């Protein structure tokens, strides 16, 4: 029930679906009670009667621990949908563990951030059996736009491709705005001038504006983006391909991991400014998470 889980649960409730919520920190789950959710103090109570279980957690090891803890309480045939961002191999392992217990699994990571979760417009990349995914379509469509991309584990591959593009583009937008500033142009006007051309993107729109405002309150977080970059490189190594640009982007996020861990991933601009002492985009004060 964090930045993403809370608004996603609210979208399910708004669609009229009965939702039971559980969180390791109980107070975060209790915040959903007024929206109509049933709050379960124990994980076993949350999953025992569920037809569908959805997890939205920080990383694969946490998802695995929750699955292991929940397995004794799951009914045969329960569909487990993990919407977290994990490694492909982890998703395939979750699928195997649940199948051995007579349950079903779909990995369905998302893109669109907190705003997409609130609006119900998330891009949902689902890996798993076609019947399982289609059977859960009302659940998915309460939260966003569903696309099946292949068997279990394929959803995570699609998310990694998404994060590769997002992470790389954020860094390119940061470089463009810093160059504009350093070379004597107005970065806000440069951004306005190139929008609508081939450089237009959601990243230029949303994160370009964040950079101009120096708004580093999350959204996505540096630590989350860095986790995804490492997962991308692990997938690339497993597939036997070299991704040199992704390696450079990973280095940029590594450079601010210990300084701005909870900042929005648009803080790639801060990493670039640290690489260029004396250069800074705009004169607004930095808005950073406490």
202 a catalytic residue: no
Handedness of CA 121, 122, 125, 131 (dihedral sign): negative
Nearest residue to 158 via CA among 195, 198, 128: 128
| Helical pair 154-182 and 187-194, crossing angle rounded to 10 deg | 130
Q: Per the structure block, which two tokens stand in for 245?
A: 């640009």
Residue 172: Cβ within 10 Å count: 17
Handedness of CA 179, 166, 200, 3 (dihedral sign): negative
The number of CA neighbours under 13 Å toward the Cβ of 99 is 12
Residue 154: Cβ within 10 Å count: 19
Q: Per the structure block, which two tokens stand in for 39?
A: 């709050």
Handedness of CA 107, 2, 137, 72 (dihedral sign): positive
Looking at 28, 159, 202, 227, which residue is catalytic?
159
For 107, the 3-state DSSP assignment is strand
User: Which residues are identified as catalytic?
Assistant: 159
């Amino acid at each position: 029930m964090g930045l993403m889980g809370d608004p996603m649960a609210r979208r399910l409730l708004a669609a009229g679906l009965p939702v039971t919520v559980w969180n390791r920190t109980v107070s975060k789950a209790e915040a959903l009670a007024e929206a109509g959710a049933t709050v379960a103090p124990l994980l076993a109570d949350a999953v025992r009667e569920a037809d569908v279980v959805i997890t939205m957690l920080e990383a694969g090891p946490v998802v695995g621990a929750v699955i292991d803890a929940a397995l004794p309480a799951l009914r045969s045939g329960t569909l487990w949908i993990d919407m977290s961002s994990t490694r492909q191999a982890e998703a395939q392992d979750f699928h195997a563990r649940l199948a051995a217990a007579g349950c079903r699994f779909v990995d369905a990571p998302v893109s669109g951030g907190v705003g997409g979760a609130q609006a119900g417009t998330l891009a949902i990349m689902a890996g798993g059996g076609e019947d399982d995914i289609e059977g859960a379509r009302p659940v998915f469509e309460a939260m966003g736009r569903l696309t099946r991309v292949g068997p279990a584990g394929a959803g995570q591959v699609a998310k990694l491709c998404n994060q590769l593009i997002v992470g790389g583009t954020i860094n390119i937008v940061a470089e463009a705005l810093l160059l504009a500033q350093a070379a004597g142009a107005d970065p806000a006007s440069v951004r306005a001038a190139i929008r609508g051309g081939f450089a237009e993107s959601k990243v230029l729109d949303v994160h370009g504006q964040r950079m101009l405002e120096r708004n580093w309150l999350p959204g996505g977080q540096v630590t989350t983006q860095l986790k995804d970059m490492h997962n991308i490189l692990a997938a690339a190594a497993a597939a036997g391909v070299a991704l040199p640009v992704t390696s450079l982007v990973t280095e940029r996020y590594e450079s601010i991991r210990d300084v701005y861990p909870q900042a929005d991933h648009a803080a790639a601009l801060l990493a670039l400014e640290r690489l260029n002492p004396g250069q800074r985009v705009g004169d607004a004060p930095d808005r950073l998470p406490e």
